[in-house]
Amino acid sequence: MANRAINDSYQDKIFNTVNVVFWFFYLIIVLYPLYLIIISSVSEPYAVLRGEVFIRPVDFSLTGYEALLKFTQLWRSYLNSIVYTVCGTAISITITLMGAYATSRPFAGKFLVNFVIIFTMFFSGGLIPTFMVMRDIGLYNNPLMLVLYGSFSVWNLMVSRTFIKTTIPGELYESAVLDGASHIRYFTRIVVPLCGTIVAVLCVYYGVSKWNDYFTGLIYIRDRQWLPLQTILREILAQLQVSSADLLNAMMDNPADYVNAMRRAEVAKYCIIVVSTVPAVVLYVTMQKYFVKGVMIGSIKG
């Protein structure tokens, strides 16, 4: 018997229409602030101050980017963040996958090991004890601090462990053992190649976290040549913001300087957001297909 297309009922059509309209407006609500930041960063500062920028840039201007690019340390910090993010993400993924595989296998004392790992998810030593430990082991004012700090996430471990347990059948391990494979060989030759989806998820999680990290550089790095981008952008934004006392002095000495400072400060904050978020957006777009699939698979059951 030939298959016949099933027509949607009247109620289904209403539901689908309302659903599409709802998510369309929800998408606009989510994307419009990002679009507004981009067009504000290339608009005339006066138009931004007057609230005239809504749909398109007004009187195209690169004043904010010019003020931002005058800081010579910006490019060095950009390179630093790229190195920290790439190296830190690679180390984090390696550690997480190794831990996920180990905790997915049965072994004596597994309950105790899982308890200790999960315990660190809710309790930590605090900033001062952590700072003292990092100083004593030689990571204070060391660029390795920005690579190694935060290399492990218990939540990512649990997601990866669930992915391995639900995606890779146990029969593969039994077959590998019969062929004489050790745990290391099984992990590197079978588990890792089959974890491409969850690796993409971990790339997004760890990569965005590393890229947006400014606090670690602020606390643990003294030499400015090793500071990450986010810490430098925070300093640039603080320098561009003019205090009330400086504004009063500028108005009395040279009103034109006051006006230019206000123009730069208003637009520079939008430029800083654009500069700092472009790599994260590119990473999301690149990994989107694998990211959605990996999150769904890794969250089926714990």
Q: Is the pLDDT of residue 151 over 80?
A: yes
Question: Considering the domain boundaries, does residue 47 fall inside one?
Answer: no
The pair of structure tokens assigned to 156 is 């990512």
Helix (H) or strand (E) holding 57: none
Q: At a CB cut-off of 8 Å and minimum separation 6, what does 198 contact?
A: 97, 159, 160, 163, 164, 294, 297, 298
Asked if the structure places residue 28 within a domain, the reply is: no
pLDDT tens digits along 68-119: 777 778 888 889 999 999 999 999 999 999 999 999 888 888 889 989 988 8
Q: Please report whether residue 251 resides in a domain.
A: yes
Residue 7 has pLDDT above 70, yes or no: no
Residue 233 near residue 3, CB atoms below 8 Å: no
Q: Which pLDDT does position 107 carry in this prediction?
A: 85
Instruction: Tell me what the pLDDT averaged over the chain comes to.
Output: 81
- Give the percent of the chain with pLDDT over 90: 18
Place of tokens 């500069």: 275
- Report the alpha-carbon distance of residue 168 to residue 195 in Å, rounded: 9
What length does the chain have? 302
Give me the domain span that covers residue 175: 71-298
pLDDT at 267: 76
Residue 197 lies in a domain: yes
Does 112 fall in a domain? yes
Least reliable range by pLDDT among 26-40, 41-55, 125-139: 41-55
Residue 121 lies in a domain: yes
- Looking at the structure of the chain, the number of domains it has is 1
Pair of tokens at residue 78: 């950009």
Burial 227-246 (b: 16+ CB within 10 A, else e): bbbbbbbbbbbeebebeeee
Q: Is the pLDDT of residue 193 over 80?
A: yes
158 pLDDT above the threshold of 50: yes
* Residue 87: C-alpha distances to residues 84, 101, 220, 240 (Å): 5, 21, 18, 32
What CATH number is associated with residue 288?
1.10.3720.10
Residue 6 lies in a domain: no
Choice between 302 and 220, residue whose per-residue pLDDT is larger: 220
Name the pTM for this structure.
0.77
Our CA angle for 226, 88, 124, nearest 5°, is 95
Assess if residue 120 is contained within a domain: yes
Higher confidence at residue 40 or residue 99? 99
